[in-house]
């Protein structure tokens, strides 16, 4: 059957660059030059007639088209790997399936997996990215990293919680728009009730808990700013960089703060949230998954 898909090499290069948010790290992983990565990305963008990355001096970020393509490519690569592992029974025992969002995979997990596989080259990892969806089942993966509130956490010896306080942030261009000098930062949360802030959109996820109101309850007030729902965290970060609104940030956005693309806005932090690393089962779990769990715990 004839198809109009782009070359597989371009998709492989794109997936690595998008996962790392870096052409240099993608080149290192794939053992090719940075120029070859750029060439494959340009060829893919030409093929689909859409830009996949926003390029900055020391960092690249996915466009909305790039984020959509990344999710599809990773899902299809995972399905292909799953099929191939089923065909090859000898390899099947060596794979680990991890449930993690693309946000966590790109910003925390990917570099650690790369280090782990250097020490264990016979073990390979398959990612599942719908880990925070309502229909996610822990038994479908060997390991999972989920965003949770402390009160939701089962204090099991097979779970490790990574505390990750939340705090509002925005782009310098948005600060200019509302005439706030960065030298004044961080501000007190009560100032968000001032008129200059009233119409600023608050970027958020589609979830039952309104993190913005929970955070603002530190001032015992009602927060009436409009909410803009952007379910994908990577797209939400890019929206904040573009000045679309305020974002509830965490430490995984440190690169954006270091590069001056985002700045912390208020003093108050929302604690009691973070990521939980979980083993699928206490019995008969994948021994390689147990090995990776212990290794990640040490990180």
Q: Domain containing 28 — which CATH number? A: 1.10.10.10
What whole-number distance in Å separates Cα of residue 174 and Cα of residue 234? 19
Evaluate whether residue 82 is within a structural domain: no
Residues 212 and 252 occupy one common structural domain? yes
Evaluate whether residue 251 is within a structural domain: yes
Residues 278 and 245 occupy one common structural domain? no
Number of domains into which the chain is organized: 3
Evaluate whether residue 84 is within a structural domain: no
What whole-number distance in Å separates Cα of residue 56 and Cα of residue 261? 10
Instruction: Report the pLDDT value the prediction gives residue 247, as an integer from 0 to 100.
Output: 95
Q: Cα 11 to chain center, whole Å?
A: 19
Positive or negative torsion for Cα 86, 87, 93, 99? negative
Evaluate whether residue 115 is within a structural domain: yes
Residues 256 and 281 occupy one common structural domain? no
Q: Are strands 202-204 and 246-249 parallel, antiparallel or unpaired?
A: parallel
Residues 249 and 261 occupy one common structural domain? yes
Residues 210 and 292 occupy one common structural domain? no
Evaluate whether residue 189 is within a structural domain: yes
* Dihedral angle computed from the Cα positions of residues 244, 250, 254 and 255, in that order, rounded to the nearest 10 degrees: -50
Residues 147 and 281 occupy one common structural domain? yes
Instruction: Report the pLDDT value the prediction gives residue 86, as an integer from 0 to 100.
Output: 60
Residues 57 and 21 occupy one common structural domain? yes
pTM (2 decimals)?
0.67
Give the residue numbers spanning the domain of 122: 93-158+273-299
Residue with tokens 């782990």: 116
Residues 154 and 287 occupy one common structural domain? yes
The contacts found for 178-184 with CB under 8 angstroms, 24 or more apart, are: 182/263
Residue with tokens 């700045």: 263
Cβ–Cβ < 8 Å for 41, 14: yes
Continuous segment of H or E residues that includes residue 36 = helix 34-48
Residues 119 and 242 occupy one common structural domain? no
Tell me the DSSP string of 135-183: T--GGGSSEEEEEEEGGG----TTEEEEE--BEEEE-HHHHHHTT--GG
Q: pLDDT 10s digit of each residue in the chain, 299 long?
A: 567 788 888 999 999 998 888 898 898 888 888 999 999 999 999 998 999 998 887 778 889 899 889 888 888 887 777 676 666 544 445 788 888 888 888 888 888 888 888 888 888 888 877 656 666 677 778 888 888 765 554 554 456 777 889 999 999 999 999 888 888 888 888 788 778 888 889 998 877 778 888 888 876 677 888 899 888 888 899 999 999 999 999 999 999 999 999 999 988 898 888 888 888 765 456 788 888 888 888 87
What whole-number distance in Å separates Cα of residue 236 and Cα of residue 272? 22
Evaluate whether residue 239 is within a structural domain: yes
Residues 7 and 130 occupy one common structural domain? no
Continuous segment of H or E residues that includes residue 290 = helix 287-298
Exposure string for 204-241, b = 16+ CB within 10 A, e = fewer: bbeeeeebbbbbbeebeeebebebeebebbbbbbbbbb
Instruction: Report the pLDDT value the prediction gives residue 135, as an integer from 0 to 100.
Output: 65
């Amino acid at each position: 059957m004839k198809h109009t898909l782009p070359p597989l090499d371009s998709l492989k290069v794109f997936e690595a660059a998008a996962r790392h948010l870096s052409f240099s790290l993608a080149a290192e992983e794939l053992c090719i030059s940075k120029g070859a990565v750029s060439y494959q990305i340009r060829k893919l963008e030409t093929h689909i007639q859409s830009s996949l990355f926003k390029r900055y001096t020391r960092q690249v970020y996915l466009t909305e088209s790039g984020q959509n393509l990344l999710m599809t490519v990773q899902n299809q690569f995972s399905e292909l790997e799953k099929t191939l592992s089923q065909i090859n029974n000898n390899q099947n025992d060596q794979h680990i399936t991890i449930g993690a969002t693309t946000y966590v995979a790109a910003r925390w997990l990917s570099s650690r997996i790369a280090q782990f596989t250097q020490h264990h080259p016979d073990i390979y990892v398959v990612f599942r990215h719908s880990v925070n969806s309502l229909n996610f089942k822990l038994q479908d993966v060997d390991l999972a990293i989920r965003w949770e509130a402390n009160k939701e956490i089962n204090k099991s010896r097979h779970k490790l919680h990574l505390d990750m306080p939340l705090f509002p942030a925005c782009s310098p261009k948005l600060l200019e728009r509302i005439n706030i000098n960065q030298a004044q930062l961080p501000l007190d949360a009560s100032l968000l009730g001032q008129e200059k802030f009233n119409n600023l959109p608050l970027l958020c996820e589609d979830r039952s808990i309104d993190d913005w109101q929970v955070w603002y309850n530190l001032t015992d007030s009602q927060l009436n700013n409009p909410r803009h729902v952007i379910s994908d965290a990577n797209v939400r970060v890019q929206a904040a960089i573009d000045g679309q609104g305020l974002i509830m940030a965490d430490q995984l956005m440190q690169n954006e703060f270091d590069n001056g693309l985002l700045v912390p806005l208020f003093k108050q932090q929302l604690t009691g949230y973070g990521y939980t690393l979980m083993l699928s089962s206490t019995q008969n779990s994948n021994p390689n998954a147990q090995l990776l769990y212990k290794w990640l715990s040490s990180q």
